[in-house]
Amino acid sequence: MHPKIRIVADTNILASATISNRGAPAKIIQAWLKKKIEIIISPDILEEFRRVLFEEDVRRYSSWTDDEVRQLLQNLAISGIQTPGVLELSIIKEDPTDDKWLIAAIEGKADYIVTGDIHLKNLSSYKGIKIISPRDFVKILEKT
């Protein structure tokens, strides 16, 4: 058995997975729940997940209950690969808050950052970590 793929998943992946159980984001979360991949998080990332997943717009469209979202966040806090988020980087000039994804990826030795964020995707890779769309990542998952 080869090592599990390690990813940093951006907030939109989680939000989209709670809105639709179809599509690439849902497949990524399902793969993590089935322990096929590992998700890397930092305190800043977990806090952003909490904040965004309970925003009114996300809750309005989400098919998940508040308790299901809380359970997902708790599972991430327990089963996600925790990084300290202390590395200092200044890479994404257009949106410095996006640096947290790169920091977690480096600290957690990620294989991929899976995102729809244009600032991150414009990099295409960073220090050997590929930055790809959810759809492209699912294609990789389907080959493993």
- In tens digits, the chain (144 residues) has pLDDT values of 457 999 999 999 999 999 999 999 999 999 999 999 999 999 999 999 999 999 999 999 999 999 999 999 999 999 999 999 998 988 888 888 899 999 999 999 999 999 999 999 999 999 999 999 999 999 999 988
Structural domain that includes position 116: 5-143
Pairing relation of β-strands 5-9 and 129-132?
unpaired
**How are the residues of the chain apportioned to helix, strand and coil, as percentages rounded to the nearest 5?**
55, 15, 35
Total structural domains within the chain: 1
**Tokens found for residue 13:** 């992946």
Whichever domain contains 104, its CATH number is: 3.40.50.1010
- Per-residue pLDDT of 65-78, as tens digits, reads 999 999 999 999 99
Is the whole model's pTM more than 0.85, yes or no?
A: yes
Model confidence pLDDT, tens digit, residues 25-35: 999 999 999 99
